[in-house]
Structure 1
Amino acid sequence: MTQGAENAAAGIAIPPPHATAGSARRHRLAVTARTLAGTLGAYGLTARATVVLSFVLARLGMDRAEAVIAATLASFAIFAALSMAIFHARSAARAWIWLAGTAVALALLQWVLAPVL
């Protein structure tokens, strides 16, 4: 009995070697892209959201230093929520598109809300 027949008899599905290399490479690339989105992408978006939140809090009447501290404290929850949402996304491409779109929207808000010195 060959090894493939033994694995099939044991209920273990092993794809052919030529299919494994390409699919393994795609899987590694997808995991890498999602990991980068969940760490570096979420970090960048959290930083942008923290700035916008501090501007909003300052506009609502909070002292600027207190607004920055409050936004920085909130950034920990923002980062955690973003990371979970990114790893929950259907694909890494969707996660990156969502990150880019949100970053553009937050950049526009930051530009509009920035205080004039």
Structure 2
Amino acid sequence: MGSARRQDILEAALEVFAERGFKSASIDAVAERAGLTRQGVLHYFPSKKRLLLDMLDFREQLNRAHLADHPVGEDLSAYFAAAVSFEQSHPSFATVHSVVVADAVTGQEPARGYV
């Protein structure tokens, strides 16, 4: 149950950070989206920064898991197409990446090292 709840929070965080960016996102907004209280989110993620970093790792893990079925070989265009297709089927993935990169460029976001 714990890992399922954690995943629910990370999925909600993907949407909230994609919509609002790091600065405007809040633990309360993520909690509401996940159907939890603020304390429920803080039980799994002790800070907004930790939530952001874990959400970025979660996004990367999902991308890698999807691409595991598409080995990199001579057909890099097919590999790239699979990556783009997966991102398009999960709109918040690409959006959150763009928002996090934009925040990092302006120095507004704690995941600069990640970007």
User: Structure 1 length as normaliser, TM-score?
Assistant: 0.30
When you count helix as a share of all residues, which structure comes out higher?
A: 1
Larger Rg: 1
User: Structure 2 length as normaliser, TM-score?
Assistant: 0.30
